Amino acid sequence: MTISLTIHHEHPEPEHIQRAAQTLQQGGLVAFPTETVYGLGANALDENAVQKIFTAKGRPSEDPLIIHLSSVEQLPQVCATVPETAQLLAEKFWPGPLTLILPKNKHVPYAVTAGLETVAVRVPSHPVAQALLKSCNLPIAAPSANRFGHTSPTLATHVMHDLDGRIDIILDGGPASIGVESTVLDISTSPARILRPGGVPREALEALLGPIDVLDVKRKAEAGLPSPGLLEKHYAPRAELVFFLSQDAREQMLVYLSGEKARGRTVGVLAAQEEAPAFEKAGALAYRLGDSNDTAQIAKRLYAGMRWLDRQKVDVILCRDFGEAGLGLAIRDRLRRAAVKVIH
Ligand code: TXA
Ligand code: MG
C-alpha cells in the first residue's frame, strides 16, 4: 500500500516530513516533489534500499541515479574530491536544477553509479525536498518517479498512476514548477559538456564557464554509450509522437494532421497557445502549452500535456520545436527522445 500525504509546498508540515524521513532511514521508498519533476528517493548509502528503486521503476541497473543533498556542505559525504569549478557552479546554481558529475567516494555503492567511478549530484531547491533531505540527514538517490521509459511525473497523481503499490509514501506537494529534469553537466572534460539539457539553460552556464559542449544524443547512440542510461528512447507517451523540427513546422503539421484524419486516426497536438485554434479547426485535440516564446511555461506543461493527451486516447501526438533559447534545448531533447518520428 502506498500512502499519499498532502503537504504544503512552501511550509511542509513537520509531521509528514518526519514520517517520510523515517521511512527513508529505514530503507523505504519515498516519492517527493522537486522543482523539476517528482523524484523517487531512497537512502543512497544503503545498497538494498537503492535496489528497491530499480525494482519499483522497472529500470535497468546500468542506468545510474542522481544523489540529492540538502546543501553543498554534504558533498564530501559522496564525492572523493570537489573541483573548484564545482564550487563555483554550486555557489551560483544550488539549490536548483543543475546536476554535476563528480568523482565518487568509497561510501557510495556501485548500485547508485551503475559501476562508474563518478557520481551525479544535485541540491534541489523545492522546500519539501529541502525539508526532507534535512530531516533524514542522508544523501538520497532519486531518479524521476515514473516507470522506466515513461513520461516523468510533474504531479503526484502521475506518480500514483505509475507506482501505486510499489512504493511506501508519496508526498503530494502540488505541481513541479520547472517541469523538465535538471541539466546534467560533466565538468571533467574541457570544455565542460552538457550530458542532458534541463532546467538550467546552456546560456546561464556559459555566462559563468565560457563556451561549453552539448552531447549529441544521436551521435552518442551510434558511438555507444559514454554516459550509460542516457538512452535515446525515453520520456515517451503511449500515443505515437511525431516531432516537427522543420522551419515550416506549423504548415507541415496541418498537412500531416489531415492525412491522419483521412486514415481515421485521432490526433492530439501539443500546441503553442496562439497556434492551438488552427489545429482545433482542422479537427485535432489541442493541449495549450503556452505562448510560443515562453519556453519556461512550455517546459512546465510539456509532460502533463503528453499524459493528458494519452488519457484522451489519441492515436497520434504532434508537436513542433521551440528553438534553443532558455528551456528550448531541454524541450527539444525530450521531444526528440519521445518521438517515433522526427520530421526535418
Ligand atoms: O531533475 C532531475 O534530475 C530529476 C529529479 C528527481 O531530481 N531526476 C532525474 O533522475 O531526472 P533520472 O534518474 O531520471 O536521470 C538521471 C540522469 C540520467 O540521464 C543518467 O544517465 C545521468 O543522470 N547520470 C547519473 N549518474 C551519472 C554519471 N555518473 N555519469 C553520467 N551521467 C549520469
Ligand atoms: Mg528519468
| Domain-embedded: residue 220 | no
| Domain-embedded: residue 179 | yes
| Domain-embedded: residue 331 | yes
> Would you say residue 341 has pLDDT above 70?
yes
Q: Which of 118, 144, 183 to mutate to test the pocket of ligand 1 (most atoms within 8 A of CB)?
A: 144
**Rounded distance between C-alpha atoms, residue 248 and residue 230, angstroms:** 30
What is the residue range of 257's domain? 240-343
Of 159, 179, 214, the residue that ends a domain is 214
63, 103: one domain: yes
14, 103: one domain: yes
> Would you say residue 221 has pLDDT above 70?
no
| Domain-embedded: residue 227 | no
Average pLDDT of 65-87?
97
Q: State the total domains in the chain.
A: 2
> Would you say residue 168 has pLDDT above 70?
yes
| Domain-embedded: residue 159 | yes
190, 277: one domain: no
Q: Which three cell numbers stand for residue 302?
A: 510539456
244, 208: one domain: no
**Residue 220 confidence (pLDDT):** 57
| Domain-embedded: residue 250 | yes
Q: Which of 129, 114, 100, 127 is nearest to 38 (CA)?
A: 129
Q: Which three cell numbers stand for residue 275?
A: 497556434
Q: What is the CATH number of the domain that holds 333?
A: 3.40.50.11030
Task: Report the nearest-CA residue for atom 6 of ligand 1.
Answer: 39
**Rounded distance between C-alpha atoms, residue 319 and residue 339, angstroms:** 9
- Which ligand lies nearest to the CA atom of residue 133 in the structure? 1
> Would you say residue 226 has pLDDT above 70?
no
Q: Measured in angstroms, how far is the CA atom of residue 220 from the centroid of ligand 2?
A: 18
**Rounded distance between C-alpha atoms, residue 182 and residue 201, angstroms:** 10
**Residue 232 confidence (pLDDT):** 54
95, 201: one domain: yes
> Would you say residue 110 has pLDDT above 50?
yes
Tell me, using a 6 A CB cutoff, whether residue 183 lines ligand 1: no
| Domain-embedded: residue 38 | yes
Kindly report the pTM of this predicted structure.
Answer: 0.95
The per-residue pLDDT for range 319-338, each reduced to its tens digit, is 999 999 999 999 999 999 99
175, 254: one domain: no
**Residue 335 confidence (pLDDT):** 96
Confidence of residue 149 (pLDDT cuts 50, 70, 90): confident
**Residue 228 confidence (pLDDT):** 42
49, 87: one domain: yes
Q: Which of 93, 181, 187, 303 to mutate to test the pocket of ligand 1 (most atoms within 8 A of CB)?
A: 181
262, 163: one domain: no
**Residue 114 confidence (pLDDT):** 96
Q: Which atom of ligand 1 is nearest the CA belonging to 97?
A: 1
Task: Report the nearest-CA residue for atom 10 of ligand 1.
Answer: 143
> Would you say residue 112 has pLDDT above 70?
yes
Residues with CB under 5 A from ligand 2 (ion): 144
Tell me, using a 6 A CB cutoff, whether residue 195 lines ligand 1: yes
145, 32: one domain: yes
**Residue 319 confidence (pLDDT):** 98
207, 245: one domain: no
Tell me, using a 6 A CB cutoff, whether residue 33 lines ligand 1: no
The per-residue pLDDT for range 245-269, each reduced to its tens digit, is 999 999 999 999 999 999 999 999 9
The per-residue pLDDT for range 20-65, each reduced to its tens digit, is 999 999 999 999 999 999 999 999 999 999 999 999 999 999 999 9
**Residue 115 confidence (pLDDT):** 97
**Rounded distance between C-alpha atoms, residue 312 and residue 166, angstroms:** 26
Of 214, 230, 257, the residue that ends a domain is 214
76, 196: one domain: yes
201, 263: one domain: no
Q: Measured in angstroms, how far is the CA atom of residue 181 from the centroid of ligand 1?
A: 8
